[in-house]
Amino acid sequence: MYTLLAETDGHWPGPWILLVPLFWLAVVAVVVTVARRAGRLRHCGDAPLAVLGRRYAEGEIDVDEYRTRRAVLTERSPGAAR
């Protein structure tokens, strides 16, 4: 088995060979981190609407206030792309 790691001239690979798995581990960690953060950012816009819906469902606000606040939260800003 040790001969599989040795090069044809009998030399062993240097300690740099340990960097290859560490490199791929770092790549996977970066991809997972970016994916998780992107998922959090995507859901940030839904949180105010969820709170508003919960308050309406629990009876804290009436239908007129719910509709008014929902309209404010869902309206697009004048510079937003359509």
At residue 22 the predicted structure's pLDDT band, cuts being 50, 70 and 90, is very high
Please state the domain extents for the chain. Answer: 19-74
Distance, CA of 73 to CA of 51 (rounded, Å): 11
What is the predicted pLDDT for the residue at 3? 55
CB contact at 8 A, 53 and 74: no
* pTM for the full predicted model: 0.42
Mean pLDDT over 2-17 rounds to 67
